[in-house]
Structure 1
């Protein structure tokens, strides 16, 4: 199908973990004949390069300034959400109104709920893009509509039940998102965050980076909650498996090690023998977590790739772990350490990688599922606890190893789990391969392919 006249604005939340999946969705829209203008802040402009080179005539970009704020760490996220609204809303309003052929729709990240009000003012539909899965988003919507209460907030193990969501998930209080634990109604930050999520519920449509075979029960739940014709599951939006110029070596940042060196190292390893360890683009392990992880990797004897983040200027952290002295020398030959960004999709797709120790961020979940690897789950915050429940309890592809700083495993137990994760015929591996096949089918003529076509068709037929 082709809708050549359709022009949409794609507005990701300006962090790599949110920009990358929306850019991957943008690529899918471009291949369907749409014209897309991507909004970026200056420091994120390089992320567009591989997409622009492949679609020079139909992919445009709009560079807007980044907020200049220095809030305390615990307020940083909400302060940035609010600052983006205050800074970008008037600029975008003027840009739309002065553009000779403005976008006919806005697709924006779920942390940009205020764009619903902008879209209403402009008279165009706004689609929410969720970098979280359908289960995680169902939880977010539920606690926004009906915020959980804890009369004894000192009791971090107070149980919160969400019976309206399929499988009635239950969480200890410390796993409830921070905004709802530390704030209360009437607090400006609490109200802003909640209203942001409620604006997402009110928006014209919802685009999920998920697929029916992975989260069917939760996708159907969202369709019942929002309306069947307002929800499209189009994932996993990932680089093409067959490889082309968009192969994601520079996808998100520069690695400290050239990609070909990592691939050469993996080429010499047996199939499904390597554990890939990475906690995403934001998580910095504390010293206890790092010590446990390093000891477990050393004792386990497994082949591994360890990708570590270091705190940046915006991630000041008093207690951040460092690799123990001599660790790299002691594991030389079976361990490969990357400090900084890693070509994660490429690594996970390599035949030698059999398991993935992950913080369960949704991008990592999808990349692991698509690669068909066993998932060792150590969620750290946000929707990651929900994603771990999905992988371990419902999909049967995961093995739980820890939870944040509350449940840090013993190094000997973690070493044992690392070892069993690369055993050839584990049931988790069999199920992971099945889901990997289902993900491929979903995007090649299956449910996600059909949903993408239907979404583009609905946009093309939209009448103001």
Structure 2
């Protein structure tokens, strides 16, 4: 076990991110914001396992005062050696990873009791519900960090609290607008719990503990999900719910744009910008399914054919499949496709500067899996969405942006569906038309997002409130 640095008498906070890019990035962005604006008033320690330490290098280079608590990854027979990060794992191994990280309970207890100025609160990812009991054991507060939105979290909490039984469609009448979802769209953790997964009760207990925790920080903003934020306050029975989004990424030293958020880019940023600079305003479609989903080859072929038929300019970010996935028929760009679309299409394999691409004047729409980070980044960029929800919170997020906010059009749904290339081509063309109502709504929503994160905005006020509560905890404990 290693740590770096010591607190200076400021209120000490422990940050515990879950090692998946969609979870880790926003919590580290929040950590950056807290360290930037409240230096001297709070001190921060971030919990990390050795293989995930490189994901903190960017943050630590900007804020060397942040402490790190590097804990050995707990041994687990269900996980392959060296597996400490979700993005490299299948669903069963992902569930095993959550369970394995529960093994950090005792090392955290020992560290806390040996520290000269231990934290007064732990801000931990939603997958770490067990840290509520840890905090209670230590006599401190636990705050949940949700990288997903308020509607998604409302559905998730209702699922684990009410324990619906398996049926074709599950409704949630207590949630505003009474959302309904197919059984397959509910949390995979919950469905496995119902099916008798050996670790199912551990996962369900974690969500029950999330509901019981002292506070909730959520990466959203009032203008986007106010009705669901109000609902969560009713469910939790208190007002310690802080909407702090859209969380802003760390920027380069010259303040001109985001740094390598989440990893090194697979192609030079300059070459992407140069390609976009040659395109007309709002005429490029950006295609990405996030850091987890890999399309089957038949889906890849349908998507490629739709892009080819449409004639639109596009950037397609392709997640590189694992070797086993390639052998099983996943992730192959159709042979000859790139040659046929040369000049108007750019295929990028691996990690891409998504925030930079979405913010470029040439991009008018995004075909997305509706991961929450991608939704928020699209909102901030003011681009309309073509929704193809895949896993996890994607179907619920799609409900929000398609049915409620009406800034998106649904083109496909689920990991099994294959789009009709002709229909997809038509939707791609329509997505970059100048009179698209979704674009007009997206532009208005962008203005609300920017207002929320400027001085006096709702999210800025919520961060201030969060810090004030934390400092009050520190004062009480002294």
Q: TM-score, normalised by structure 2?
A: 0.91
Other-structure match for 1:39: 47
| Aligned counterparts of 1:35 and 1:106: Cα–Cα separation in 2 | 12
Other-structure match for 2:459: 448
Candidates 431, 437, 448, aligned match of 1:438: 448
| Aligned counterparts of 1:66 and 1:357: Cα–Cα separation in 2 | 36
Residues 67-99 of structure 1 deviation map (CA, whole Å, 9 limit, x = unaligned): 45445944212211110011x111111111111
| Aligned counterparts of 1:173 and 1:411: Cα–Cα separation in 2 | 27
CA apart distance, 1:227: 3.0
Does the CA-based 8 Å contact 2:309-2:425 persist in structure 1?
yes
> Are residue 285 (structure 1) and residue 302 (structure 2) matched?
no
CA apart distance, 1:286: 0.8
Call closer, same or farther: CA 1:135–1:118 in 2, change over 3 Å.
Answer: same
| Aligned counterparts of 1:313 and 1:85: Cα–Cα separation in 2 | 29
Candidates 81, 105, 108, aligned match of 1:92: 108
Other-structure match for 1:112: 128
Matches within 5 A, 1:29-428: 29-30=34-35, 31-33=37-39, 34-57=42-65, 59-69=66-76, 70-71=78-79, 73-86=90-103, 88-150=104-166, 158-184=168-194, 187-239=197-249, 244=254, 247-312=257-322, 318-428=328-438
Q: Secondary structure at the match of 1:183?
A: helix
Does the CA-based 8 Å contact 1:50-1:246 persist in structure 2?
no
Does the CA-based 8 Å contact 2:12-2:119 persist in structure 1?
yes
Does the CA-based 8 Å contact 1:51-1:246 persist in structure 2?
no
Does the CA-based 8 Å contact 2:391-2:415 persist in structure 1?
no
Please tell me the root mean square deviation across aligned C-alpha atoms, in Å. Answer: 2.1
Call closer, same or farther: CA 1:182–1:102 in 2, change over 3 Å.
Answer: closer
Does the CA-based 8 Å contact 1:293-1:411 persist in structure 2?
yes
CA apart distance, 1:267: 1.1
Does the CA-based 8 Å contact 1:249-1:259 persist in structure 2?
no
Structure 2 gap ranges (5+): 1-7, 80-88
CA apart distance, 1:282: 0.7
| Aligned counterparts of 1:424 and 1:4: Cα–Cα separation in 2 | 56
Structure 1 gap ranges (5+): 152-157
Q: Secondary structure at the match of 1:188?
A: coil
Does the CA-based 8 Å contact 1:73-1:316 persist in structure 2?
no
